[in-house]
């Protein structure tokens, strides 16, 4: 059973994670940058969500037309929306991480134009990052911030409206603050936060 | 070709030297439609949209019948791996001619980068 212990170190030159563990006798002191870790986490999250969108939602809803996907999936006996699947995964990961001493990070889906106000940015870094990824298509935002006495590396990745139903649902939702989204517009962002030693 | 005045202004924020400007009037028109309606996904590979500046994304597509590409862009398309191309790029106000013009520009752009790669190789 592999057991790894991570210690995250931050310096002026680079932010890196020193990983030590018992993987094998040869591998005792590997290092990966915290940016690379955040990018890898996002790649996995985005790929899983994309697979759910394509292989489950697009296949069953749009191609085979055997079931619907709905925000009110329980009442409608429908599939959860891809964004809901992402949020549920985030909530479960955070719950599981609480029980793991060596795993300490968070990720959330936020927006400058949230349908649910709970998903609005709260920190200055989140606000700046969401604005940056919306105005600089194709680029990510990386920064550090200190919250409650702890230093964090914070990465923000654009979340783009890619299906007509995503865009139309947001535009028509009674609680939406923005009603002119188009396909391809950045509608929000994924915020990944990893604690680092400052 | 019917040209609606409200689509003749390119979104300057989205413009980019990588989106090569063509000489012909019809392709210039297609470029504006593309910038305003297609670039948001195809410019970056969002949701696995094929990027015309990436030859490997378009090698197999540029040889397809243009009628098929038009049909996929106008009517929408779910690919074999269930990637979705939304009908008219999600803008139901676009006419068939406008969508075809955008497809023509994307093919022009894809062919430009494929030829450039061939030249380098």
pLDDT at A127: 97
pLDDT band at A10 (very low <50, low <70, confident <90, very high): very low
Per-residue pLDDT tens for B66-96?
Answer: 999 999 999 999 999 999 999 999 999 999 9
Strands B84-85, B77-78: pairing kind: antiparallel
pLDDT at A169: 86
Interface mutation target, options A165, A183, A186, chain B, most CBs of B under 10 Å:
A183
Mean pLDDT calculated for residue range B95-118: 95
Strands A141-147, A106-110: pairing kind: unpaired
Q: Which residues of B touch A162 (CB under 8 A)?
A: 41, 46-47, 84
Q: Who's near A40: CB < 8 A, 6+ residues apart?
A: none
Question: Coil, strand, or helix at residue A81?
Answer: coil
Report CB contact under 8 Å: B82, A59: yes
Q: Is B46 on the interface with A (CB under 8 A)?
A: yes
Between positions 151 and 180 of A, the ones with CB within 8 A of B are 160, 162-164, 167
Strand partners, A109: A190
Q: What is the pTM of this model?
A: 0.83
Q: Give the residue ranges of DSSP H helices in chain A.
A: 34-51, 82-97, 124-135, 164-172
Q: Is A106 on the interface with B (CB under 8 A)?
A: no
């Amino acid at each position: 059973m592999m057991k790894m212990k991570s210690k995250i170190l931050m310096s002026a030159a680079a932010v890196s994670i020193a990983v030590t563990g018992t993987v094998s006798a040869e591998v005792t002191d590997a290092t990966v940058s915290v940016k690379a870790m955040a990018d890898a986490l996002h790649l996995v999250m985005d790929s899983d969500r994309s697979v759910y969108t394509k292989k489950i939602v697009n296949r069953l809803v749009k191609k085979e037309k055997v079931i619907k996907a709905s925000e009110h999936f329980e009442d409608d006996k429908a599939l959860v929306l891809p964004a809901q699947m992402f949020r549920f995964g985030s909530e479960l990961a955070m719950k599981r991480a609480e029980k793991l001493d060596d795993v300490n990070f968070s990720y959330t889906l936020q927006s400058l134009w949230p349908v649910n106000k709970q998903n609005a940015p709260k920190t200055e870094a989140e606000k700046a990052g969401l604005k940056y990824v919306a105005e600089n298509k194709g680029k990510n935002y990386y920064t550090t911030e200190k919250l409650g006495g702890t230093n964090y590396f914070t990465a923000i990745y654009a979340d783009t409206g890619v299906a007509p139903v995503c865009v139309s649902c947001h535009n028509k939702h009674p609680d939406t603050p923005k009603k002119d989204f188009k396909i391809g517009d950045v509608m929000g962002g994924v915020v990944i936060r990893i604690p680092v030693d400052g | 070709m019917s040209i609606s005045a409200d689509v003749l202004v390119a979104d300057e924020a989205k413009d980019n030297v990588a989106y090569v400007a063509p000489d012909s009037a019809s392709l210039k028109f297609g470029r504006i439609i593309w910038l305003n309606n297609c670039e948001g996904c195809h410019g970056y590979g969002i949701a696995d949209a094929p990027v015309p500046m990436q030859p490997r994304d378009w090698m197999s597509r540029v040889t397809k019948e243009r009628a098929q590409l038009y049909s996929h862009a106008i009517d929408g398309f779910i690919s074999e791996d269930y990637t979705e191309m939304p009908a008219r790029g999600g803008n139901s106000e676009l006419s068939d001619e406008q969508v075809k013009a955008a497809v023509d520009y994307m093919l022009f752009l894809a062919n430009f980068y494929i030829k450039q790669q061939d030249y380098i190789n």
